Chain A
Amino acid sequence: MSRFTVQTTICLSASAVLMVMTELSATHTSRLNYEIATGIFCAVFCLVPILLNRLRIMTVPATLVLISIVSVFFHAYGVLLMRYDLVRTWDIFTHTTSSVVVSLCAFYALLCIDRFDKGMRTSPLMMHVYIILITMTFSVVWEVFELLADNIWSIHMQYSPWDTVKDFGCDALGALIIVAYAGLFYRYRDPDELIEDLDLHPGLVRYLEAHSDAGQDA
């Protein structure tokens, strides 16, 4: 089985299971629209890596596919089967895995920028710093979004301050996990090899190269 077929199998399987769970929730329980919509959205989201490959935008690495599918699947599972209410640490687990996904995306994006943007050259140490900066800022953006959503639409996305602090702790942990991963990556893998495996769309590469600030460095 080729590498991509394994990724496709993971994505399709996760999506299928979530669609079945959503259908069962809709027909056998009194689930609200939010839960059903979450199940459908997450099931569709599982297909994104396949879509990116089909459109030849990029080939999502197996690591990222696996972690993002785990994150999305367990979030939907938690919503549809009320695991968020029944299991105390469910929220911590899903929040941390989401943060790992964000950090990993940031890491891969920075590797691409480092490769194609001639105005950038990133040392491994600064790569670790950038991962933390991006992940924690993304965390800020998300929490601010929750606060504004609560105030504008009178919903209850944010619970207590303790819940928010827990979320930040999970996000920081996720960032640190990928910082450790990046350290191992630099030791055992060649970044150029990963860039080749990503198989980026030529238009994307041209965009990164065209927006380089290299001309202003002189």
Chain B
Amino acid sequence: MVTCFVLTAVCAATGAYAGDLTWVFSSVFGIAVLIMPYRLTKDRSVGFASEILLPLPFVLVSFIVLTLATGGRMGLFEDLWPVSIALQAWALMIYGYAALIVVNNHRGSLISKRWMLLFSMLVANTLMSLYVFYIFAEMIRLGIPVYDDYTVVSDSALHNWYLMAQMTITLFFTIAYGFVLRRRLRSIPKQTLVSYHKEA
């Protein structure tokens, strides 16, 4: 848990370095979710089940290493940006699943495993859809044509891709991650997944 917390904070800094503030927004969401067990139980030794958080360090370290190794080519509109998006979608799904565990445990709601998986996919897609406003603002700041009056038909496909890349890649990758997660968590009882685990 502490590892995930630290790595999430480092990802926020790395995202800012690469010029992609969506990683900062996602990391803030991630940190808010990760500290929920501490805040709600007042017990600093508890955390989410390892079955949920297992891929997260891999995802976050991959983003950090790739960003630093490629000198910022993982940033907005750069050539390795799709890789960054795919990693962020995965991280958001994990954060979303953890958030739903908190909802199940503390918010007067009950959510079954299948719906937790589906809603975690929806969380990732919703957040990426909200980032479209930030990406649009960045396109204006960089002078990329965004309005009908200034868009040449032949270039409009590229400009639409700049705006739609985040959502398109997230949609397909969350579906793929969903299949993987469903297979991995199928045999694990819900009670094991939603229970907070004491850390050594």
Interface of A toward B, CB cutoff 8 Å: 117, 119-123, 125-126, 130, 132-134, 136-137, 139-141, 143-144, 147, 150-151, 156, 158-165, 168, 211-214, 216-218
Quick check: is B183 within 8 A (CB to CB) of the other chain? no
Instruction: List the 8 closest A-B pairs by CB distance, nearest first.
Output: A119-B112, A213-B112, A121-B110, A133-B122, A161-B146, A136-B126, A137-B125, A161-B163
Using A144-B171, A147-B168, A212-B112 as known contacts, say yes or no to A161 and B130 having CB atoms under 8 A apart: no
B3 at the interface (CB under 8 A from A): no
The one of A161, A213, A217 that contacts B139, using a Cβ cutoff of 8 Å? A161
Residue B159, interface by CB 8 Å: yes
**Given that A137-B129, A162-B147 are contacting pairs, would A121 and B157 also be in contact in the complex, using a CB cutoff of 8 Å?**
no
Select one of B133, B160, B190 contacting A217, CB under 8 A. Answer: B190
* Contact indicator A140/B125 (Cβ below 8 Å): yes
Interface string of B130-171 (1 = CB under 8 A from A): 101100100100000111100101001101111110011011
Q: Does B182 contact A (CB under 8 A)?
A: no
State in angstroms the CA–CA spacing of A163 and B132 once bound together: 12
Interface CB pairs A-B, < 8 A, 8 = A119-B115, A123-B108, A133-B119, A140-B170, A144-B167, A147-B164, A161-B139, A161-B151
> What A residues does B126 contact at CB under 8 A?
132-133, 136-137, 140
Per a CB cutoff under 8 Å, which of A159, A161, A163 touches B162? A161
B39 at the interface (CB under 8 A from A): no
| Contact status A160-B159, CB under 8 Å | yes
